[in-house]
Amino acid sequence: MTDPRTARAEAIRALSIPSSLLPADGRFGSGPSRLRDEQVDALGTTYRGVLGTSHRQKPVKELVARTRRGLAELFSLPEGYEVVLGNGGSTAFWDVAAISLVERRSEHLVLGEFSQKFATETTNAPHLLDPLVVTAEPGSLPRPVVDEDVDAYAWPHNETSTGVMVPVERPAGAREDQLVLVDATSVAGAAQVDVSQTDAYYFAPQKAFASDGGLWLSLLSSAAIERAGRLEAQSDRWVPGFLSLQAAIDNSRKDQTLNTPAVATLALLADQVEWLLEQGGLAWSDARTRATSGLLHQWAERRPEVTAFVSDPAARSQVVTTLDIDESIDATAITSVLRAHGVVDVEPYRKLGRNQLRIATFPAVPESDVEALVAVLDHVLDATA
Ligand SMILES: *Cc1c(COP(=O)(O)O)cnc(C)c1O
């Protein structure tokens, strides 16, 4: 005899979900994330003649210029800050920062897989002392500890692997020469932020900016720019050319990248930044993502089988909602029947290893699609109860 959990999983997997319930767009992944149709269509029309042309000529440089201008406006860039970009995604920026921004020793808040990765880089870097690491259980929120001995504090604005959002504020009592490096990869563009609280607010285009991967972007303070120049001038520090922040700064000022960028990524990004501004900027996207993630949390409160993984409501992400499913129900059966119906990428972060759904509500995801997703999930649970 099959046990009840297996029997229910089989029933879930065999379910046929009425198409009238399905969202118009079934992409709910935490990155890469859904692109708007208008962006994709523009690649074949507006940008048809720009794709496949030189990144040292005006049409591609204009995409970079539009992105830099648009981001400066979107984030109300404070005096002295610059929008800098380079190839390699946020993962590359961790190495850029380990070379060009951390002087001797950094402090890291580690609350999940992404924040761990940066701490691992500075731990392995032979030119740096081992970092000070403040660790929190996945799903909970650590706070920075002011320490005389560090020259940079690092944490994620949104820990994408767990769905915890960390406030972006300079630690009270931190010295001016201690830089604040915030990994905003999955929430930049989706939430209000005061960039002056950071020295590097960095991200990649494939999450809230609904573009493709491959680039990193960083809003740098004058203190960060000064630090990079000074560290890279030191004779005892090897700066691999690809990881030089100074090279990225110099190229960005000319609206270009050190080496060849993905032109399509730039086109998608420039359009999304301008779309966000047209909708009402960060005030608009912040309100939308609070509303859409709120629908998921209201659903979790309504369903006895579902519990928010992040127990502290104040620490819950407005772009990545993590929901634990009761052990009597196999969450992989749910994600697999959804996938068979075109509702994709709501699997939990693989290394977290929980019986969970992880649902992204980036600015390009309208409320109507989240309402439909909730109806689909209700159907799956109710039809197999
Ligand atoms: C996705 C993500 C990254 C990795 O970005 P890549 O562009 O793939 O390197 C880093 N940090 C956070 C918080 C992320 O969500």
Sheet with strand 200-203: strands edge to edge: 82-87, 215-220, 200-203, 179-183, 152-156, 106-110, 132-135
Q: How far is the CA of 90 from the centre of ligand 1 (A)?
A: 5
- Tell me the C-alpha distance between 271 and 42, whole Å: 9
Q: How far is the CA of 257 from the centre of ligand 1 (A)?
A: 20
Residue 349, burial from CB neighbour count under 10 angstroms (0-12, 13-18, 19+)? buried
Q: What is the dihedral of CA 135, 140, 143, 145, to 10 degrees?
A: -20
Q: How far is the CA of 22 from the centre of ligand 1 (A)?
A: 29
- Tell me the C-alpha distance between 176 and 150, whole Å: 12
Name the token pair of 282: 């960060």
pLDDT at res. 235: 86
Q: How far is the CA of 185 from the centre of ligand 1 (A)?
A: 5
Report pLDDT digits (tens) over 251-270: 999 999 999 999 999 999 99
Ranges of beta strands (E only) in 38-151 are: 82-87, 106-110, 132-135
Is this model's pTM higher than 0.95 or not?
A: yes
Report pLDDT digits (tens) over 150-209: 999 999 999 999 999 999 999 999 999 999 999 999 999 999 999 999 999 999 999 999
Substitution site in 33, 85, 91, 201 for ligand 1 pocket (most atoms within 8 Å of beta carbon) = 91
The answer, yes or no, to whether any atom of ligand 1 lies below 6 A from the CB of 330, is no
Residue positions forming the annotated binding site for L-glutamate? 56
Q: Are 367 and 291 in contact (CB under 8 A)?
A: yes
The answer, yes or no, to whether any atom of ligand 1 lies below 6 A from the CB of 338, is no
The answer, yes or no, to whether any atom of ligand 1 lies below 6 A from the CB of 204, is yes
